[in-house]
């Protein structure tokens, strides 16, 4: 199943747990700061790479990730 995620940058605290847990390596750290001063992460995926497994959303302590199935 293909999917995509939306990261709420305002909630992200830059802990990079999602980066470490995505089995496909689709979430990357950035050097961009959000309004709270945390480095945010970004979702980088070609069509079909994300399986909507929800691991990233489950592991995120800030509930900053929403997963959508397509």
**Which residues of this chain interact with ligand SF4, rule CB under 6 A?**
3, 5, 7, 12-18, 22, 24, 26-27, 41, 50-56, 59-60, 62, 64-65, 67
Q: Which runs of E-coded beta strand occur in 1-70?
A: 3-7, 27-33, 39-43, 65-69
CB neighbour list of residue 33: distance below 8 Å, 6 or more residues apart? 39, 40
Q: How far is the CB of 37 from ligand SF4 (least distance, A)?
A: 13
32 vs 62 by CB, closer to ligand SF4: 62
24 vs 70 by CB, closer to ligand SF4: 24
Q: How far is the CB of 31 from ligand SF4 (least distance, A)?
A: 14
Structure tokens at 10: 């305002």
How crowded is residue 64: how many other Cβ atoms within 10 Å of its Cβ?
Answer: 21
């Amino acid at each position: 199943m293909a999917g995509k995620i939306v990261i709420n940058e305002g909630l992200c605290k830059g802990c990079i747990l999602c980066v470490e847990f995505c089995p496909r390596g689709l979430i990357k750290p950035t050097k961009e700061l959000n309004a709270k001063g945390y480095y945010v992460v970004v979702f980088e995926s070609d069509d079909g790479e994300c399986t909507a497994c929800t691991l990233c959303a489950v592991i995120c302590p800030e509930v900053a990730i929403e997963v959508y199935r397509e």
